[in-house]
Amino acid sequence: MSIKLRKIKESDLPLFLKWWKDHDLIALTSGNFDELDEKLPGYFFKMIDSKKDHHYIIQYEKKAIGHLALMHKNPDSFEITIVIGEKEYWNRGFGTKAIKKALLLGFGKLGYSKSYLEVRPENIRAIKAYESCGFVKKGLKKYPENKYQPVTLKMVLNKISPK
């Protein structure tokens, strides 16, 4: 099973609109269903225009199955975000493979020394994937003003060779 990460492009907008209207997917990530139709295109085009963050489509056999981003947070660290948007590819190891590719890119070509991510504490499938890539739990992060995602689990990985 070989996957590829390719830069996002404008023609990917329909995929993002489809994925971010999926209630199962949103429940595992932001939990925010409000005003998605209005906000998502603007967010999408900001991703394309970003000079500091790196956004990719995850492809398997030339089919777009998800989105992965390496978000520049400070000179030595990046945050990973990932969504496998096509449900038929859930629970098949594609997310883990994509994360490993992203870590090689972030620690190698981009020169970072630390990566972190935040995940819903109840998203056990994602937590297991992150742990299999070497991330360790660092604790809960609270967002009291966010009614959709008031708590996330922060996980961190220092520069090592991904498992």
**Model pLDDT, residue 39:** 76
What is the pTM assigned to this prediction?
Answer: 0.86
**Tens digit of pLDDT for each residue in 133-154?**
999 999 887 766 665 566 778 8
pLDDT (average), residues 75-104 = 94
* Structure tokens given for 24: 């199962």
CATH level 2 (architecture), domain 3-158: 3-Layer(aba) Sandwich (3.40)
| Percentage with pLDDT > 90 across the chain | 53
User: Domain locations in the chain?
Assistant: 3-158
pLDDT (average), residues 43-59 = 91
Q: Which residues contact 59 (CB under 8 A, 6 or more apart)?
A: 3, 4, 5, 6, 65
Higher-confidence residue of 32 and 96: namely 96
